């Protein structure tokens, strides 16, 4: 048996689920994704990762700007799908869309709902220093990630794991969990439980204003901030350069040895004092350059012990 599905997703995180559904033999009636956007030096229109994968499979791709238009809703119903699978799509699904498929719209969300509802659950879980997170399969309603949950799968967050590391783990895990959920749905054995009202912190999208590193915070908070924003959009600080301050993005950190006034470079490995303790910068990146070790950065931007970073 297989289901006739509409798939709705946009970023890299959604691609493994689309691949898995095709591999499982489900019939993908259409793929909805965000419209191509300008990117790169030439600002040429770039299709989303999901669109690229869908076209590789020869699937029909639709990129409406909204799902609220009557003609879009009529076209959605015309697919005759049993259910919709939604993974980081990026558009609100209004009630006519939610009610257009008899078995509902199943959403793969990258957290253990109700914790971290919202746009940036992976970043926020790492930034908060959570010891674990996971993926959830939810039946969508008109609220923001508030629908009843059928399945969850947990994973530990390693002490130095970045949001990028976690993203890749959860994308693969989520694809497998969605495949299992759809198998249960076919058998009539997928059961949903309303989310509890408590324990539902919100995960808003990352704003530019919160990406700069604050050395006055304890080392653990600085470490979690850096790894939670790695590799994108990236926590950053400034180093003194010949032509003025140079912005440096931090990709990997670990606990450092020593202490001192916040922002003080403590050794030749780019260990930096924090409000409490210190972090050692392991991997960094200058604008327009490839990621590099802290030692390589110091060869081009010397910062001897005692240097104060703003």
Per residue in 154-164, pLDDT (tens digit) is 999 999 999 99
Pairwise CA distance, residues 52 & 40, whole Å: 17
Residues 204 and 201: their CA atoms lie apart, in Å, by 10
pLDDT at 38: 87
Q: Which of 205, 294, 286 is nearest to 253 (CA)?
A: 294
Stated length of the chain: 310
CATH 3.40.50.170 fits 4-186, yes or no: yes
What are the residues facing 109 on neighbouring strands?
Answer: 136
Residue 301 has pLDDT above 80, yes or no: yes
CB contact at 8 A, 110 and 122: yes
**Cα 151 to Cα 26, 89, 173, distances in angstroms:** 20, 20, 12
Three-class SS state of 272:
strand
Q: How confident is the model at residue 9 (pLDDT cuts 50, 70, 90)?
A: very high
**What is the per-residue pLDDT for 74?**
98
List C-alpha distances in Å: 128 to 41, 101, 118: 34, 37, 15
**Do 4-186 and 208-300 show the same overall fold?**
no
**Res. 61 pLDDT band, cuts 50 70 90:** very high
Per-residue pLDDT reduced to its tens digit, 227-267: 999 999 999 999 998 889 999 999 999 999 999 999 999 99
Tokens describing residue 202: 């919100």
pLDDT band of 140, cuts 50, 70, 90: very high
Domain ranges in the chain are 4-186, 208-300
**CA geometry: angle 245, 165, 218, nearest 5 deg:** 50
What pLDDT does 42 receive? 80
Q: Which of 115, 110, 169, 108 is nearest to 140 (CA)?
A: 108
Crossing angle of helices 15-23 and 163-186, rounded to 10°: 30
Residue 66 has pLDDT above 80, yes or no: yes
pTM of this structure: 0.95
Sort strands 83-87 and 61-62 into parallel, antiparallel or unpaired: unpaired
Residue 19 pLDDT: 98
Superfamily of segment(s) 208-300 = Formyl transferase, C-terminal domain (3.10.25.10)
pLDDT digits (tens, 9 = 90+) for 115-137: 999 999 999 999 999 999 999 99
pLDDT digits (tens, 9 = 90+) for 163-193: 999 999 999 999 999 999 999 999 999 999 9
**Segment 14-50, tens digit of pLDDT:** 999 999 999 999 999 999 999 998 887 788 899 999 9
Q: In angstroms, rounded to a whole number, what is the distance separating the alpha carbons of residues 125 and 110?
A: 10
């Amino acid at each position: 048996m297989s289901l006739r599905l509409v798939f709705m997703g946009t970023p890299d995180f959604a691609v493994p689920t689309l691949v898995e559904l095709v591999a499982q033999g489900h019939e993908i009636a259409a793929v909805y994704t965000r419209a191509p956007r300008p990117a790169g030096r030439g600002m040429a229109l770039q299709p989303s990762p999901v669109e690229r994968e869908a076209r590789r499979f020869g699937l029909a791709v639709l990129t409406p700007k909204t799902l609220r238009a009557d003609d879009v809703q009529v076209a959605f119903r015309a697919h005759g799908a049993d259910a919709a699978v939604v993974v980081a799509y990026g558009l609100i699904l209004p009630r006519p869309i939610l009610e257009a498929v008899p078995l509902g719209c199943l959403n793969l969300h990258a957290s253990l709902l109700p914790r971290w509802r919202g746009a940036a659950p992976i970043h926020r879980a790492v930034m908060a220093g959570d010891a674990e997170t996971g993926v959830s399969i939810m039946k969508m309603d008109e609220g923001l990630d508030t629908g009843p949950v059928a399945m969850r799968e947990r994973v530990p967050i390693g002490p130095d794991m970045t949001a990028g590391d976690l993203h890749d783990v959860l994308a693969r895990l989520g694809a497998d969990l969605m495949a299992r959920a759809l198998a249960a749905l076919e058998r009539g054995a997928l059961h949903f439980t309303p989310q509890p009202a408590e324990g539902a912190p919100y995960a808003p999208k990352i704003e530019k204003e919160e990406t700069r590193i604050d050395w006055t915070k304890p080392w653990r908070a600085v470490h979690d901030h850096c790894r939670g924003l790695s590799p994108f959009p990236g926590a950053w600080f400034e180093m003194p350069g010949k032509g003025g301050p140079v912005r440096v993005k931090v990709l990997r950190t670990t606990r450092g040895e020593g202490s001192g006034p916040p922002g003080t470079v403590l050794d030749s490995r780019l260990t930096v004092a924090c409000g409490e303790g210190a972090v050692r910068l392991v991997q960094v990146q200058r604008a327009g350059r490839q990621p590099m070790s802290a030692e390589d950065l110091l060869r081009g931007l010397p910062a001897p012990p005692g240097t104060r970073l703003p």
